[in-house]
Amino acid sequence: MADTTPGTPAGLPHTTVSAPGGVGTSAARPDGVLKVRGAFAFGSDLWHEDMLWGTTLRSPHPRARILAIDITEAVALPGVHAVLTHEDIPGEKFYGLEITDQPVLAIDRVRYHGEPVAIVAADHPETARRAAARIAVEYEVMAPITDAAEAADTGANGHVHEPGEYKAREAGNVVHRQRVVAGLGVTDEVRALADVVVRHEYEVGMQDQAFLGPESGLAVPAEDGGVDLYVATQWMHADQRQMCPVLGLPPEKVRLTLAGVGGAFGGREDISMQVHACLLALHTGRPVKIVYSREESFFGHVHRHPARLAYEHGATRDGRLVYVGARISLDGGAYASTSAAVVGNAASLGVGPYVVPHVAVEAAAYYTNNPPCGAMRGFGAVQACFAYESQMDRLAAALGMDPVELRCRNALQEGSVLPTGQVVDAPAPVAELLRRVRDMPLPPPADADPRNFPGGVANATRGEGVVRGVGYAVGVKNVGFSEGFDDYSTARVRLEAVGGEPVAEVHTAAAEVGQGGVTVHEQIVRTELGVGRVTGRPADTGVGSAGSTSASRQTYVTGGAVKTACEAVRAAVFERGMRRYGWSADVVSGLVLTAGKVVARDGLVVAELADLLDGAAIEETRVFRHRPTRALDPATGQGFAHVQHTFCAHRAVVDVDTELGLVKVVELAAAQDAGLMVNPAAVLGQVHGGSAQGLGLAVMEEIVVADARVRNPSFTDYLIPTILDTPPMRVDVLECPDPHAPYGLRGVGEASALSATPAVVAAIRAATGLPLRRVPVRPEHLTGT
């Protein structure tokens, strides 16, 4: 079926057709079989015949002055080729995604447990580790700043970064602060308008992305004095931008190619081993490979910001929200990373998908001596969602109202005005999503099979003390980069005839981290050019930036770039037809490309695509930008901050053993709006994955940090849901096209990670009657021990 799309060059057709394996189909992943068979090469599988192995010496202290570093014994170890400290860096010594505040290797002091101090290259990984252990570092240990409250009191606790030292946007230990004020804010006058008020404080622990493939890469020195880096990352051009000043090289001499990535979820947005491997390779003149161990990976990437959230909700007796006040404190750790953007999301999305006349929200991130925090699925919205959804349940209880009905009564819809003043100008089916999960059949009551009780085959209970609860939640997440960021992507599409058959190639720098971008790009090419054989070139910096694989943005932005490049290729095809066959503009306007042919709308084949190409390839490169957003006003938070919003609702059913403090999530049903599903199977996979990650935050996932030291850097002690912890997930997907997005699609990667957590905790509250204001919920929270 043909349809019409905007954005085609003037005078040429606006035509797309459905195609086998095209948009809207559950096309198989091109890398799927290799991954299932274990034949796919991940970053840790990289190899070079004469390569060296790199390793990193890390600080055992969260806060200390470095008095001396002695590398004598390390260098003397046979097989060691280099031992480098900050003194060996040829260029700039700091980097950072948004604020250049992080040293490549520690200079004079360390600010978190695990901070890199020195790097080693040797002919064997064990030799490198033994050499690192021989580096003598003399520290003067200082008392760490362990949370945002301590960080706020600089008079008593000092600064993580000295005032005016560099880079920090705000005063003291504040990384960034954002206020959002709507209506009259929250004043005594506004409070007087509410019949019911609920006030509570909440806490969210530090969650890890827990990707399975550790940080890894191979740096190869080049004859031109540059370096080629093969690396598992999320945004090669951002890596390149930060690395070039450090290496003292121009961008054309720092070339990155994406290696196989074993998951990311935001944890690979910041540089980890990239610049270390390149420094060692350029210093030794040999290829250098670095692969973090599982323990080192916990120190090598940022985590989800822990948060403390104080909320106040006021409503009328009939359940209409009058006001919301919130103060959100985020622990950013030792370096800024993306804390400013996380703050922006927490503030602008801090009241949830609801219409609220009067709002006063303030969010801030603080420097501490805890591990650095940054991007993770949900990105600032997760923490707020747990708090505002917990508040909605408290408010429903205070009003004696069904919690779903309360939410529906206040739900956003198209045309609503957000607290930032932004008008929702696309479908916002919040109430519909809630009603859909509410109306799904409930799972049957627990039977007497001990395997189905909390604790499972451990035979922890025979049913005594087990109670069931049901909880609901809904969340809102922005799509793409916001607040005025120039969010764009680049794609190159090539069409040629090979062996008498038209084939297409698509080339982008979008990082495939498991989300399925490689599949989606091929689907778009098949749809737009009507070509069955489509291949994707490896992602590298040989083509313009695609931005980060994060913020649920790649299908929207890079998909948009691929679509736009295809439109340019298609226009060139028709121009050839006009020259060769004398097609008029009217004729061309009725043509489509399908099944390797140029076809009129009445089905008549007017040309074979391979004949029209006639041995001369067509290649077009295009950049796609979504409509511009604007920075939030720093005082009021007003502004068109987000290009698109995405929504998901959950219903959780849990069984709780109140004597042992065990929780079994019996069911986690979801309903999400996907705009248009480019790949339905991939959409379901994203909803399943986000829901499981939200479940993990609800009941088990937390990096335990005590006195600023990480206590559980292993998959033995950092628990993530296994298949036995993950219940059946009934998923209902709505398709309400966004008129501003390519194909009407909506980014789907993150929304399900928001509402799963408060839904599970709401179900536990319903089962136990306990207040439960912190996640993850631990057994002792349920037993009172």
**What single string gives the DSSP state of each residue in 644-666?**
EEEEEEEEEEEEEETTTTEEEEE
Number of H helices, E strands in the chain: 20, 33
DSSP state of 110: E
Percentage of residues in the chain having pLDDT higher than 70: 97
Q: Give the amino acid at 333.
A: G
Q: Is the dihedral of CA 633, 638, 640, 644 positive or negative?
A: positive
- pLDDT tens sequence across 304-331: 999 999 999 999 999 999 999 999 999 9
Report whether pLDDT(169) > 80: no
Residue with structure tokens 């200082």? 142
Per-residue pLDDT, 574? 96
Cβ-proximal residues to 579 (8 Å cutoff; 6+ apart), any chain: none
Q: Is the peptide bond before 13 cis (omega within 30 degrees of 0)?
A: no
Cβ-proximal residues to 774 (8 Å cutoff; 6+ apart), any chain: 202, 203, 204, 205, 781
pTM recorded for the entire structure = 0.95
Confidence of residue 167 (pLDDT cuts 50, 70, 90): low
619, 628 Cβ separation under 8 angstroms:
no
Residue 275 structure tokens: 């610049």
377, 748 Cβ separation under 8 angstroms:
no
- DSSP characters over 378-394: TTTHHHHHHHHHHHHHH
Q: Is the dihedral of CA 394, 397, 402, 408 positive or negative?
A: negative
Q: How far apart are the first and last CA of the chain?
A: 63
Per-residue pLDDT, 632? 97
Confidence of residue 455 (pLDDT cuts 50, 70, 90): confident
Q: Is 772 left (phi over 0), alpha (psi -120 to 50) or beta?
A: left
Residue with structure tokens 């390519």? 742
Beta bridge partners of 70: 136
Cβ-proximal residues to 275 (8 Å cutoff; 6+ apart), any chain: 95, 104, 242, 243, 246, 247
- pLDDT tens sequence across 32-58: 999 999 999 999 999 999 999 999 999
Rounded Cα gap, residues 614 and 496, in angstroms: 8
| Residue closest to 493 by CA, chosen among 501, 481, 503 | 503
Rounded Cα gap, residues 312 and 309, in angstroms: 10
Q: Is the dihedral of CA 753, 757, 763, 766 positive or negative?
A: negative
Q: Give the amino acid at 337.
A: S
Rounded Cα gap, residues 757 and 21, in angstroms: 35
Strand, helix or coil for residue 419: coil
Residue range 273-286: mean pLDDT, rounded: 98
| Residue closest to 672 by CA, chosen among 691, 654, 655, 647 | 647
At residue 529's C-alpha, the angle toward residues 598 and 544, to 5°, is 145
Question: Strand 618-625's sheet: what is its strand order?
Answer: 533-536, 501-508, 488-498, 618-625
Cβ count near 28 (within 10 Å): 12
Confidence of residue 460 (pLDDT cuts 50, 70, 90): confident
- pLDDT tens sequence across 572-589: 999 999 999 999 999 999
- H or E element at residue 576: helix 554-581
Beta bridge partners of 75: none
Q: Give the amino acid at 374.
A: G
Confidence of residue 682 (pLDDT cuts 50, 70, 90): very high
Cβ-proximal residues to 359 (8 Å cutoff; 6+ apart), any chain: 180, 181, 182, 183, 185, 186, 323, 324, 325, 351, 419
DSSP state of 303: B
Report whether pLDDT(240) > 70: yes
| Residue closest to 637 by CA, chosen among 185, 181, 183 | 181
- pLDDT tens sequence across 590-645: 999 999 999 998 899 999 999 999 889 999 999 999 999 999 999 999 999 999 99
Report whether pLDDT(174) > 60: yes
Per-residue pLDDT, 450? 81
Rounded Cα gap, residues 474 and 435, in angstroms: 11
- pLDDT tens sequence across 200-221: 999 999 999 999 999 999 999 9
Cβ count near 39 (within 10 Å): 9
Confidence of residue 105 (pLDDT cuts 50, 70, 90): very high
Strand 705-706 to 709-710 pairing: antiparallel
Residue range 729-757: mean pLDDT, rounded: 97
Per-residue pLDDT, 615? 86
Report whether pLDDT(26) > 80: yes
Report whether pLDDT(14) > 90: no
3-state helix, strand, coil in the chain (%, to 5): 30, 25, 45
Report whether pLDDT(27) > 50: yes
| Residue 608 burial (C-beta neighbours within 10 Å; 0-12, 13-18, 19+) | middle
Task: Determine the length of the chain.
Answer: 785
| Residue 366 burial (C-beta neighbours within 10 Å; 0-12, 13-18, 19+) | buried
Q: Is 514 left (phi over 0), alpha (psi -120 to 50) or beta?
A: left
Cβ-proximal residues to 449 (8 Å cutoff; 6+ apart), any chain: none
Average per-residue pLDDT for the chain: 95
Rounded Cα gap, residues 536 and 546, in angstroms: 14
Report whether pLDDT(11) > 50: no
SS (H, E, C) 661-694: CEEEEEEEEEEEECCCCCCHHHHHHHHHHHHHHH
Strand, helix or coil for residue 46: coil
**E strand map for 296-393:** 307-315, 321-333, 358-367
Strand 64-70 to 136-141 pairing: antiparallel
- Please report how many Cα atoms fall inside a 13 Å half-sphere around the Cα of residue 325, on the Cβ side: 14
Per-residue pLDDT, 201? 98
